[in-house]
Structure 1
Amino acid sequence: MTEQIKHLSAEAVMAPFVGRDHLTNRELFGQLALQLDLPESVLDSRAPVGKSGKECNLFERKVRWHQQTLKHLGVLERVDRGTWRLSGEAQKELTPAPKRSVLLAFSTDLGCALWASAEDVFSGLGEEITLAFTSPPYPLAKQRAYGNVDQTAYIDWLLPIMEPVVKSLRPGGSIVLNVGNDIFMPGSPARSLYVERLTLALHDSLGLHLMERFVWHNPTKPPGPVQWASIKRVHHNTAYEHVLWFTNDPELVLADNRRCLQEHTEKHRRFVGSGGVKRYTRNTGGAYTLREGSFGAHTEGAIARNVLTIPHRCPDQQPARDFASANGLQAHPALMPVRLAEHFVRFLSEAGDLIVDPFGGWATTGRGAELNGRRWLVTERCREYLMAAAQRFRDAPGFYSPMECSNA
């Protein structure tokens, strides 16, 4: 058996069905042979198999074995003899990862994205994590296609998922959570206190320490909350979300703000170029004293503030969005800019460290890690999101995706 056939995966067998009404076995064999670059001799050869010694084509046998596995998982269904298609649920809904199953969606030299539930991966990871940067599904009252719980069940749902991630955290490692702001008490303009309860639960139950409450200011955030700002007129439009930074050991925390310095403004560069402070100044309240020449030394950049102004759309997302549209895939509705992920990747890790995201989505955390020389691992339950997210990594060294559509 050739190496290509030996490593043929269920994901590769499933991919040609995406966007197709059905495929015959002959069509499927042909597409997979082209994808694997198999010579005709392999397609025509037969070899004895099993105790009976019955001669079979090993390639076709391997494909049929994966077909039966995917049928058992509810992903493929038989139309008639020798003809298959994606199951009805797989065609019209997002396809969740089979329980207790971990499948490769795509990988690069630095990391990989897994089609799996986070619980099935991180409970047996066996490697230290430096940073988990993630945006869990928000506790919205109206459930999204990818699935979410409401605020009453949110903490009991999230903590068991995060617990194995926290257990794998190296001393001084960090957990950073982007959580929604526009969550309200049912039928009321009063905001939910779920963020405060979550913060306390992460400390009390998982032993995490709150290091900072960052504000992600999104100047392109759509107007809202519509009910309370546009209709009832009792709120302003919201322009920010919470980004909570935790660590398991504040004394050993692996953070360095020199890795994420901001570019100096032109005004500041002129100020430094002129020699800094011109005369001795003492604040009347005694809070600080400025001496002649203060702030006159050149520095590599400005220390970032804890309010990060970053638009939610970025060009890096476009290949994934275009791919989803062209192939009839549901696009993930949440858009996180890669600049936000990159900021925390640089701030809270060094090159070669492992960065993870248990709620992969567009794989933005992985992308931020990839662009900055960090190893990465993301998990995502919905196959369609991963197929689109893979397009963001096509230029990365070692890119491989057994899940890709045959026409990608």
Structure 2
Amino acid sequence: MAKATSTLPQMDLFQRAVCEVYSEAGESPVANDALYAAVQSKLGLSDAAMAERTPIGRAGAPRSLIKRKIRWAQQSARALGLVERTGTRGEWRLRRRTGDMGQVAGAGTALLAFSTKLGLAIWARCESVFPHLREQIACCLTSPPYLLARQRAYAGPGTEQEYIEFIVRALEPVVRQLLPGGSIALNITNDAFESGMPTRSLYRERLVLALCSELGLHKADELVWHKISAAPGPYQWASRTRQQLNAAYEPIYIFTPDPKAWFADNRRVLEPHTPAQKRLIARGGEARSGVFSDGAYRVKPGSFGNPTVGRIPRNVWSVGHRDRASIAMNAFAKANGLQPHGAPMPYVIAERLVRYLTRVDDLVVDLFGGRLTTAAAAEANGRRWLVTEQIWDHLVSGATRFGKAIANGESNIQVDTNGSVML
């Protein structure tokens, strides 16, 4: 796939490098000399460039312009509430938070939190980045803020119409860059009710219609995520009035702009055959004949006997919320005074969708990065990725799952002096 350049607003070259250094250091302090050396390495600056001095001010005192830019970037990060002094002269670290809310990216802010050879994690609102992206996208796999009656820290617009417009606006620039055979995979809540009533909102149906009519998408499928670890609820309508059953699933809608070109492939997510199916194949298939459901299904001798690599998964996935990475990230957030992310998409679901909907080296994006689950799934399966997240604390916690990948450098990411990003 041809590479393309996208200019990200307000992504100063030195700001990106400085923020990346502090992100990689975690809670460890970074001395200024170490910061200079790390930024020099990241930007490929020569020793001669670092040592060069230029007369500054009325006195004409010789100063390093490069180190000056690094210090300005450091002060910018401090003004944004990202870093703080340690108490030791010349040492800084990521800011430790004591409140419930992490630092939220302002309108137009777009700073690189960290990168790997395959991807970029950007501290920004999605609308600050994706309208400027010129790379073709193979898949957008995202779980946006849910439509909730009582807003949480991560929640989006409250009314149904506002929420639908919010999702359509967010996805519009992604759809413009989506490959004809690409996919949008959207995980949203099913548990939205009409105000004061035990009847479910039709916002899901209205959202699907809006995405298809306004953005030209086609609904390819509606996966059911059966949440085997879901807490009982909705409390008001199931436990108090007893009118509803306990809810235990969420939909994952899959869209494509061109069904005929759609390159999803279930052979990338085949499951092992059951022991019973293996025995059936071994004996050459069915020995009986039969007609079922008024002729809709027919069985004849030899049916289901062809040897195959595996079975095609069904579109109902029973998966719990918890995994080791999520537990580790929550522990890291708690230990460092960061705001935890309370509504994760399970890694198993993200990993299956990435393999099902994309090919190696395809670009996968996530507008609402959260715990960076989509990014982690893309990284593990050789897909390039680009993720935005507006809450800095989530990026700091999410970076812990990329430790080795971050340490291995960013040879597939090229940044020029104008702040352009080559994917």
TM range (shorter): 0.7 to 0.9
Q: TM-score, normalised by structure 2?
A: 0.82
SS at 1:159's partner residue?
A: helix
Residue 106 of structure 1: how far off its partner (Å):
1.6
Root-mean-square deviation (Å) = 3.4
The CA deviation string for residues 187-216 of structure 1, in whole angstroms up to 9 with x for no partner, is: 221111110010010011111111111101
The residue number in structure 1 matching 2:221 is 212
Residue 315 of structure 1: how far off its partner (Å):
2.1
Q: Which residue, out of 32, 54, 71, partners 1:64?
A: 71
The residue number in structure 2 matching 1:384 is 393
The residue number in structure 1 matching 2:183 is 174
The residue number in structure 1 matching 2:365 is 356
Residue 72 of structure 1: how far off its partner (Å):
5.2
Partner Cα distance (2:126, 2:70) in 1: 28
Residue 164 of structure 1: how far off its partner (Å):
0.1
Instruction: After TM superposition, list the pairs within 5 Å mapping 1:86-105 onto structure 2.
Output: 92=99, 93-105=101-113
Q: How many residues align?
A: 388
The residue number in structure 1 matching 2:246 is 237
Partner Cα distance (1:79, 1:362) in 2: 27
Contact 2:183 2:256 in 1 (8 A): yes
The CA deviation string for residues 294-342 of structure 1, in whole angstroms up to 9 with x for no partner, is: 1112111111111111112122333322321221111100121111011
The residue number in structure 2 matching 1:159 is 168
The residue number in structure 2 matching 1:121 is 129
Opposite residue 103 of structure 2, the aligned amino acid is: T
Provide structure 1 residue ranges, at least 5 long, that are not aligned to the other structure.
402-408
Residue 358 of structure 1: how far off its partner (Å):
0.5
Partner Cα distance (1:260, 1:288) in 2: 25
Contact 2:270 2:309 in 1 (8 A): yes
Provide structure 2 residue ranges, at least 5 long, that are not aligned to the other structure.
1-12, 42-46, 411-423
Q: Indicate whether 1:47 and 2:53 are aligned.
A: yes
The residue number in structure 2 matching 1:109 is 117
The CA deviation string for residues 22-65 of structure 1, in whole angstroms up to 9 with x for no partner, is: x9xxx852663686699xx99x9783333753123667633431
In 2 relative to 1, CA 73–105 (structure 1 residues): closer, same or farther, beyond 3 Å? Answer: closer
Shifted more, 61-70 versus 318-327: the winner is: 61-70
Partner Cα distance (1:112, 1:86) in 2: 21
Partner Cα distance (1:8, 1:362) in 2: 20
Partner Cα distance (2:15, 2:293) in 1: 74
Q: TM-score, normalised by structure 1?
A: 0.84
Partner Cα distance (2:384, 2:377) in 1: 10
Partner Cα distance (1:376, 1:333) in 2: 23
The residue number in structure 2 matching 1:304 is 313
Opposite residue 62 of structure 2, the aligned amino acid is: E
Partner Cα distance (2:218, 2:40) in 1: 52
Residue 19 of structure 1: how far off its partner (Å):
6.4
Q: Which residue, out of 202, 208, 215, partners 2:211?
A: 202
In 2 relative to 1, CA 266–63 (structure 1 residues): closer, same or farther, beyond 3 Å? Answer: same
Partner Cα distance (1:249, 1:284) in 2: 33
Shifted more, 92-101 versus 241-250: the winner is: 92-101
In 2 relative to 1, CA 209–50 (structure 1 residues): closer, same or farther, beyond 3 Å? Answer: same
Opposite residue 48 of structure 1, the aligned amino acid is: T
Opposite residue 170 of structure 2, the aligned amino acid is: I
Opposite residue 76 of structure 2, the aligned amino acid is: T
Q: Indicate whether 1:375 and 2:381 are aligned.
A: no
Q: Indicate whether 1:221 and 2:230 are aligned.
A: yes
Contact 1:130 1:353 in 2 (8 A): yes
Contact 1:107 1:399 in 2 (8 A): no
Contact 2:84 2:92 in 1 (8 A): yes
Percent of counterpart pairs with the same letter?
42
